[in-house]
């Protein structure tokens, strides 16, 4: 009898404790979002702002795949709206894939256009218009001209500009142009002080673009070009990570000095109309209005000379400058083997063809692409934030204890990479600690999928493997 009466009180106390725990977690997140934590920089707050300004783009907006799940980024706990977009996470993936397919169609359509002409003439000529440093106020003018002329181009965008003008990144993408990565801030001193900083900016820009278009840029153009800047380490590691570095064959000269007039840009752009393949360097960054001014005439001249207009892809023969003796002699430190294993090696899988891992958990479903998960010791390892957020849960990061806290399925689960422990606080108030393989890889937490599902109250995971995909189902 006594027991029966105690139970409701106990439950009340337990609920109270749980509410406090959840509130504490939310409190941590609010603190993080203000960017007050010493580790979070204004850059991240700017990114967060850009993210918030993008409600229309949520279709392309599955949570980040945290090969670069920066622990210093604000802890994201989003509301129902964000969750709604995640429920359709799998359809967002499909849309992303559709868009890729349509780009592929554009490419093959472009190839198709070339084909009949190629039958008549042996010298199939292609010009690849490339625009660096945007997007800026000049970009809409360039896009209008390209649309009017029925011409495609490649835009090597800067991450900080993209974060501030996501609608232009979307416009470039929607018009079927290619988007390449031109680093985050274009600062030579930062970028060429050592490879790891160059890498950090490539990943940051990649994430910014991926949040807008759903697709990771694979093409990279070095600010100022590779010559005098890249040594073998830069070339080798970027290639190993799955990127294609592209310089140019013709410089329009539009950035030689301020305000180069359109006539001069035109002249330099069409100086050689005999090469079978031209990669033309132009700029659509701020202050490059004259480049847009020159563009219709540039296109006209190339058309008249029998050129078709291509967009660069990872398949294009890369145009790269050689390593200069100056760059080779810089003696910049090379990243450690551990760093390469944690960053470069898994990154290549992001671009490698492979098998996706579909997760069907409760009523939610999502898909991790090849490279977004790992198989180790016969187990699936998944990045904590991307996996949980795509399945409708929330994840907070505590930099001090290097641990992540998951609010999911009515539970609070803390995964600590230092103590290798999982703490589970259940709805009924019971708490439990277990040893677990919580890995801090690069800058993200990875956990065995089965351990995560069991801790979060999704037991009995079944795994099915077919030629097309890997699938894990749990109640
Ligand atoms: Zn540039």
227 within domain boundaries = yes
Q: What are phi and psi of 8, to 5 degrees?
A: -60, -40
Is residue 465 predicted with pLDDT exceeding 90?
no
Q: In 241-288, which residue ranges form alpha helices assigned H by DSSP?
A: 262-269
Chosen domain end from 284, 319, 348 = 348
402 within domain boundaries = yes
Q: What are phi and psi of 305, to 5 degrees?
A: -85, 5
| Shared domain check, 264 and 175 | yes
140 within domain boundaries = yes
The Cα-based distances of 276 to 155, 272, 322 in angstroms read: 21, 10, 21
- How many whole angstroms separate alpha carbon 322 and alpha carbon 267? 26
| Shared domain check, 375 and 245 | no
Binned at pLDDT 50, 70 and 90, residue 372 comes out as: confident
Rounded to the nearest integer, the mean pLDDT of the chain is 77
Per-residue confidence (pLDDT) for residue 310, from 0 to 100: 92
Catalytic: which of 177, 182, 283, 458? 283
Q: Domain containing 399: what range?
A: 2-27+353-474
Q: What is the pLDDT of residues 298-326, one digit of tens each?
A: 999 999 999 999 999 876 678 889 888 88
34 within domain boundaries = no
| Shared domain check, 300 and 397 | no
Dist. CA 292 → ligand 1 center (Å):
16
| Shared domain check, 135 and 17 | no
| Shared domain check, 358 and 330 | no
Dist. CA 301 → ligand 1 center (Å):
25
323 within domain boundaries = yes
SS3 36: coil
For the question of residue 133 being annotated catalytic, the response is no
Question: CB-based contacts of 187: which residues, under 8 Å, 6+ apart?
Answer: 223
Average pLDDT on 23-36 reads 35
Per-residue confidence (pLDDT) for residue 18, from 0 to 100: 52
Extract the runs of DSSP E, i.e. beta strands, from 140-257.
154-157, 178-181, 219-220, 244-245, 250-251
Total domains, the chain: 2
| Shared domain check, 455 and 425 | yes
Dist. CA 22 → ligand 1 center (Å):
46
Dist. CA 188 → ligand 1 center (Å):
10
| Shared domain check, 333 and 314 | yes
Relative to beta strand 431-435, strand 439-441 is: unpaired
| Shared domain check, 328 and 403 | no
Residue listed under structure tokens 């359809």: 91
Which CATH number belongs to the domain containing residue 382 in this structure?
3.30.457.10
Q: What is the pLDDT of residues 237-273, one digit of tens each?
A: 999 999 999 999 999 999 999 999 999 999 999 998 9
328 within domain boundaries = yes
Number of C-alpha atoms within 13 angstroms, CB side, residue 65?
23
Chosen domain end from 314, 348, 382 = 348
SS3 239: helix
| Shared domain check, 299 and 377 | no
Average pLDDT on 148-177 reads 95
Is residue 461 predicted with pLDDT exceeding 50?
yes
**pLDDT top residue among 30 and 125:** 125
Dist. CA 254 → ligand 1 center (Å):
11
415 within domain boundaries = yes
Dist. CA 241 → ligand 1 center (Å):
22
In b/e form, how buried is each residue of 170-199, taking b as 16+ CB within 10 angstroms?
bbbbeebbbbbbbbbbbeeebbbebbbbbb
- Structural tokens at position 402: 């290097």
| Shared domain check, 315 and 392 | no
Chosen domain end from 299, 327, 348 = 348
Binned at pLDDT 50, 70 and 90, residue 109 comes out as: very low
| Shared domain check, 377 and 323 | no
Which CATH number belongs to the domain containing residue 295 in this structure?
3.20.20.370
Distance of alpha carbon 373 from the chain centroid: 15
- How many whole angstroms separate alpha carbon 272 and alpha carbon 305? 10
Q: What is the pLDDT of residues 117-146, one digit of tens each?
A: 333 445 689 999 999 999 999 999 999 999
- Structural tokens at position 252: 């329009």
237 within domain boundaries = yes
Per-residue confidence (pLDDT) for residue 349, from 0 to 100: 78
- Structural tokens at position 269: 């752009």
For the question of residue 283 being annotated catalytic, the response is yes
| Shared domain check, 359 and 308 | no
Catalytic: which of 69, 132, 133, 284? 132
Q: What is the pLDDT of residues 39-98, one digit of tens each?
A: 333 332 333 333 322 222 222 333 333 332 222 223 222 233 232 222 222 322 223 333
């Amino acid at each position: 009898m006594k027991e029966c009466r105690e139970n409701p009180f106990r439950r009340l106390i337990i609920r109270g404790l749980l509410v406090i725990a959840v509130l504490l977690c939310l409190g941590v997140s609010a603190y993080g979002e203000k960017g007050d934590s010493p580790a979070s920089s204004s850059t991240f707050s700017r990114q967060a702002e850009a993210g918030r300004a993008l409600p229309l783009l949520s279709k392309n907006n599955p949570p980040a795949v945290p090969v670069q799940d920066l622990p210093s980024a604000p802890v994201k706990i989003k509301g129902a709206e964000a969750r709604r977009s995640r429920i359709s996470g799998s359809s967002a993936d499909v849309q992303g894939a559709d868009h890729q397919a349509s780009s592929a169609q554009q490419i093959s359509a472009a190839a198709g256009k070339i084909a009949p002409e190629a039958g008549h003439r042996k010298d199939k000529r292609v010009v690849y218009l490339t625009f660096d440093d945007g997007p800026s106020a000049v970009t809409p003018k360039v896009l209008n001209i390209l649309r009017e002329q029925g011409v495609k181009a490649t835009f090597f965008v800067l991450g900080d500009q993209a974060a501030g003008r996501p609608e232009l990144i979307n416009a470039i993408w929607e018009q079927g142009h290619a988007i390449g990565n031109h680093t985050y801030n274009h600062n030579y001193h930062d970028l060429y002080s050592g490879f790891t900083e160059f890498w950090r900016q490539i990943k940051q820009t990649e994430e910014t673009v991926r949040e807008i278009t759903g697709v990771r840029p694979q093409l990279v153009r070095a600010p100022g070009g590779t010559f005098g800047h890249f040594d073998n380490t830069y070339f080798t590691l970027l290639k190993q990570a799955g990127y294609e570095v592209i310089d140019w064959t013709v410089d329009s000269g539009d950035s030689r000095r301020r305000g180069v007039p359109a006539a001069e840009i035109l002249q330099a752009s069409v100086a050689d109309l005999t090469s079978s393949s031209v990669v033309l360097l132009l700029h659509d960054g701020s202050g490059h209005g004259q480049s847009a001014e020159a563009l219709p005439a540039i296109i006209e001249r190339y058309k008249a000379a029998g050129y078709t207009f291509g967009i660069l892809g990872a398949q294009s023969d890369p145009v790269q400058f050689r390593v200069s003796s100056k760059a080779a002699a810089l003696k910049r430190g090379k990243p450690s083997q551990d760093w390469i294993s944690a960053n470069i090696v898994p990154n290549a899988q992001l671009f490698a063809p492979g098998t996706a891992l579909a997760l069907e958990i409760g009523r939610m479903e999502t898909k991790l692409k090849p490279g977004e998960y790992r198989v180790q010791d016969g187990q699936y390892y998944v990045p904590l934030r991307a996996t949980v957020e795509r399945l409708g849960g929330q994840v907070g990061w505590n930099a001090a204890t290097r641990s992540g806290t998951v609010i999911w399925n009515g539970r609070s689960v803390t995964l600590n990479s230092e103590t290798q422990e999982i703490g589970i606080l259940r709805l009924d108030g019971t708490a439990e600690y277990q040893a677990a393989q919580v890995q801090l890889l690069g800058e993200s937490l990875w956990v065995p999928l089965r351990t995560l599902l069991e801790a979060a109250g999704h037991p009995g995971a079944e795994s099915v493997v077919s030629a097309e995909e890997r699938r894990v189902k749990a109640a």
